[in-house]
Amino acid sequence: MRAGQERLLETYLPDIQITVPPDGTTIDPAAWFTPNASEVWLEIGFGAGEHLAWQATNNHDVGFVGAEPYLNGVARLLSAIESDRPGNIRVLADDVRPLLQAMADGALARVFILFPDPWPKLRHHRRRLINTQLLDTLARLMRDGAELRVATDDQDYLVWILRHLQGHPAFSWTASCADDWRHRPADWPDTRYEDKNRSGGPGSTFLRYLRIPRTG
């Protein structure tokens, strides 16, 4: 990590950092933004922050919460947004799960999980981020009609993701043809991670699911 990035972790991160209350208080994430955001979108594991920064720049009325446990990634995001310092980004530099448990029901209008670690070895599958427990939590947090975007370039993990999402009663896949998952939407920017990892194989898959409206 560069000295400039270390400085940003000390001087800039405290201005936009989220802390999870230890007393079980329920969090309304819209209150982190002034004025209150029209919607709140969450990116889980934002890596170097390129996607998060692009979305925040192009959606000024939306409040963005980014969770990333690795400080190198957090530092790279801070470097990318330092000059503009957008007011619609908040960062959790930690595991996202305690934050999810503290959030109010229906607080999120969109969730991004982009290229999570596939943990390819069979004995490590239990560490995969996408599982039934996470989807149950997101189903509680996402408002009716909210969008879940998931991307992966690992074919084995893709099968795992589809099995879990297709089997979950709260989510509906938006795809109607192959192009819907082979090609990114216009508002889904490319990242250096994808460029670096392209190898002429099947490539990346872009999944979009909607939170099915609740009944009763």
Residues with Cβ within 8 Å of residue 133, at least 6 apart in sequence = none
Note down the domain range covering 87: 3-211
Q: Which of 61, 84, 117, 144 is catalytic?
A: 117
pLDDT value of position 24: 83
Max intra-chain CA distance, the chain: 55
Prediction pTM value = 0.94
216 found inside a domain: no
- pLDDT for the residue 2: 74
The pLDDT assigned to 203 comes to 82
Those residues of the chain that have pLDDT short of 70 are 1, 193, 195-201, 216
Is position 195 annotated as part of the catalytic site?
Answer: no
Q: Residue 106 falls within a domain, yes or no?
A: yes
Could you report the per-residue pLDDT of 113-133, keeping only the tens digit for each?
999 999 899 999 999 999 999
Position 184 scores a pLDDT of: 86
* Beta-bridge partners for 102: none
Domain count, the chain: 1
Say what the pLDDT of residue 200 is.
Answer: 52
Q: How far apart are CA 60 and CA 73, in angstroms?
A: 23
- Which parts of the chain are beta strand (E)? 39-44, 62-67, 89-92, 108-114, 142-152, 171-173, 205-211
**CATH number of the domain within which 188 lies:** 3.40.50.150
Q: Give pLDDT, residue 6.
A: 87
State yes or no: cis peptide before 21, omega within 30 of 0: no
